[in-house]
């Protein structure tokens, strides 16, 4: 994957596939680290599956025998000197709080760290494709935060689908506006 935002899209698709009604995507930039955490309340994985999930030859899809999503994310993190951790609770054992958390740490200034890329496109694509499920997105930097919670949007929209063209455009502009504020603050800091 050429940019981390594509890995984010890929892994979040897993959460939706697992039946999550809420997936939280958190990007935290602290010093030289970028910490990406994707948490969902989907069906989760049993301990046996958790042991093999990072194996590229393990997949739940039936069309092919390889599942590259998580192995690719792990590679992307480890080649920067970072790490990937997965924790999961299967619905049968944990009927009240099932789900999966994938936490990845990237060392930003490592030469092999892929660019974060177009996160706005990723969020847009997720909501466009899965308007019935909720996403809570937060990107924290030193200069401020970018957030979007589809639950809040859903309340306002009262039944209008989130993948209605005008709504998707609004979401795109809302996110770009927040990023623009942060970029201005970052430029200001560098000059000062």
57 Cβ contact partners less than 8 Å away, ≥ 6 residues apart: 65, 66, 67
9 binds other proteins (CB under 8 A): yes
72 binds other proteins (CB under 8 A): yes
Rounded CA gap, 139 and 116, in Å?
A: 11
Size of the site for other proteins (CB under 8 A): 36
- Binding segment for other proteins (CB under 8 A), chosen from 25-33, 79-87, 107-115, 173-181, is 173-181
**Residue among 46, 101, 125, 147 that touches other proteins (CB under 8 A):** 125
Strand ranges in 51-156 using DSSP code E only, listed in sequence order = 83-89, 99-107, 134-141, 144-149
4 binds other proteins (CB under 8 A): no
Instruction: State the minimum distance, in angstroms, from the CB of residue 168 to other proteins.
Output: 7
Rounded CA gap, 19 and 32, in Å?
A: 34
**Residue among 96, 166, 191, 192 that touches other proteins (CB under 8 A):** 166
69 binds other proteins (CB under 8 A): yes
Residue closer to other proteins by CB (options 89, 150) is 150
167 binds other proteins (CB under 8 A): yes
152 Cβ contact partners less than 8 Å away, ≥ 6 residues apart: none
Rounded CA gap, 83 and 78, in Å?
A: 5
164 binds other proteins (CB under 8 A): yes
SS3 at position 92: coil
User: Residues 20 to 59: which contact other proteins by CB under 8 A?
Assistant: none
Residue closer to other proteins by CB (options 47, 165) is 165
Q: Which helix (H) or strand (E) holds 23?
A: strand 22-30
Q: For the chain, how many residues are written?
A: 192
Helix axes 150-157 and 165-191, enclosed angle (nearest 10):
140
User: Residues in the site for other proteins, rule: CB under 8 A?
Assistant: 1, 6, 9-10, 13, 17, 61, 63-64, 67-69, 72, 121-122, 124-125, 128-130, 152-153, 156-158, 160-161, 164-168, 170, 173-174, 177
């Amino acid at each position: 994957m050429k940019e981390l935002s594509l890995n984010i899209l890929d892994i979040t698709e897993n959460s939706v596939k697992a039946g999550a009604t809420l997936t939280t995507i958190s990007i935290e930039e602290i010093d030289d680290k970028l910490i990406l955490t994707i948490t969902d309340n989907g069906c989760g994985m049993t301990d046996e599956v958790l042991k093999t999930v990072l194996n590229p030859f393990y997949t739940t899809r039936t069309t092919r025998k390889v599942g590259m999503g998580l192995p690719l994310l792990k590679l992307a993190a480890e080649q920067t000197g970072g790490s990937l951790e997965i924790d999961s609770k299967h619905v049968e054992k944990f009927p009240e709080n099932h789900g999966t958390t994938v936490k990845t740490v990237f060392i930003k200034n490592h030469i092999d760290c892929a660019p974060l890329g177009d996160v706005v496109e990723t969020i847009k694509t997720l909501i466009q494709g899965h308007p019935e499920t909720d996403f809570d997105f937060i990107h924290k930097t030193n200069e401020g935060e970018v957030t979007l919670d589809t639950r809040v949007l859903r309340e306002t929209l009262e039944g209008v689908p989130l993948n209605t063209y005008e709504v998707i455009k609004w979401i795109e502009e809302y996110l770009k506006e927040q990023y623009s504020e942060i970029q201005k603050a970052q430029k200001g800091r560098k000059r000062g």
